Amino acid sequence: MTLDESYLAYPRRQRGQDIERYDWSPMEGRAAAKLAGDVKLAVSIVVPIEYFPLTPSGKPFRHPGAMVTPYPDLRHYTTRDYGNRVGAFRLLKAFAEAGVKATFAVNAILLDRSRPLIDAILADGHEIAAHGLSTDHIHHGGLTEAEERAYTDKTRAAFEAAGLRPRTWMSPARQESTRTPDLVRAAGFDICLDWEFDVAPVGLRTSCGPLVAFPLLSELDDRTLLTIKNHDESRWRDQIIEAAKYMRDEAATRGAECLSFTMTPYVAGQPFRMWAVKEILAALGAIDGASVVPVATHVDNFSTGNPQQ
């Protein structure tokens, strides 16, 4: 059987990857990234503050953490609500005790519904990022441009109505369509947490100017490791600390790097996991050359060898 020649015709074959929003720039051979103050490792903790409806549409898929059993799925719903009512406040206390500032990525629908939590986050000096409208407003290629633009515009409007103007964006489920970066930038955001293809911020090309992609490691996602892959808390702690030390040491020859990971309130904020949270924070704070601050602060302090940045 002869292979049809059409299988060999690939119009997007090129050096590097198939995405034109950034140039291919392998770590080896490029100019070293630098951070202000001779910081070697930029660490950011991202805390998703999410709204899960009892009746998710499931389009185009159900958000990780969405309801799964027949209506009303109170077991999962109340666990998620526990995260915003209890777990998030435990994390805030642990951050304050460790002197850590984090990035809280908030679904816009919760700006009114959970205002005491928003006020507590702001009072402690953390960054608030936009996390779309809700977990049931997922960006994907099946939306029209007008529909998706409504998502980003309504998100921006909700934050402005709440007296907030965040720079940082994270899509619900970190899912995008091909046009999402353009719409996010058009809505006034200049940092995005959906992309994780590097160890330093990279400027993405959009129709409205550059959008900085700050890597957020899904491999260290607490929900994935602790509840899906069933790692215990010691392994989760050790993986974060090992990653931080390795990347700090690598910075001596490669340049400054960034390490960002999630602490989900209904996962990391459980009472039997707070010891691990506290040990992670203490260990990160003790690493020479590491700085644990919000995403936007790191972006402002980075100068990189990536061509768009």
Structure tokens at 246: 């390795």
At residue 68, φ and ψ (nearest 5 deg) are -125, -25
Contact 40, 290 (CB under 8 A): yes
Which domains occur in the chain, in start order?
33-303 (3.20.20.370)
User: Is 100:281 a contact under the CB 8 Å cutoff?
Assistant: yes
CA distance readout (Å), 129 to 12, 133, 159, 192, 193: 34, 12, 10, 9, 10
Alpha-carbon Rg for the chain, nearest whole angstrom, is 20
Provide the pairing of β-strand 290-292 with 34-35: unpaired
SS3 letters across 189-251: CCEECCCCCCCCCEEECCECECEEECCCCHHHCHHHHHHHCCCCHHHHHHHHHHHHHHHHHHH
Q: What pLDDT is recorded for position 305?
A: 53
Residue found by looking up tokens 């907030």 in the block: 164
Amino acid at 78: T
Contact assessment for residue 44 and residue 260, using Cβ atoms and an 8 Å cutoff:
yes
- Measured CA to CA, the distance from residue 95 to residue 277 in angstroms comes to 9
pLDDT by 10s per residue, the chain, length 309:
677 887 777 776 667 777 889 988 888 888 889 999 889 999 999 999 999 999 999 999 999 999 999 999 999 999 999 999 999 999 999 999 999 999 999 999 999 999 999 999 999 999 999 999 999 999 999 999 999 999 999 999 999 999 999 999 999 999 999 999 999 999 999 999 999 999 999 999 999 999 999 999 999 999 999 999 999 999 999 999 999 999 999 998 889 999 999 999 999 999 999 999 999 999 999 999 999 999 999 999 998 655 444
Question: In sequence order, which residues have a C-beta less than 8 Å from that of residue 201 and are 6 or more positions away?
Answer: 212, 213, 214, 215, 258, 298, 299, 302, 304, 306, 309
Q: Which two tokens stand for residue 47?
A: 């805390």
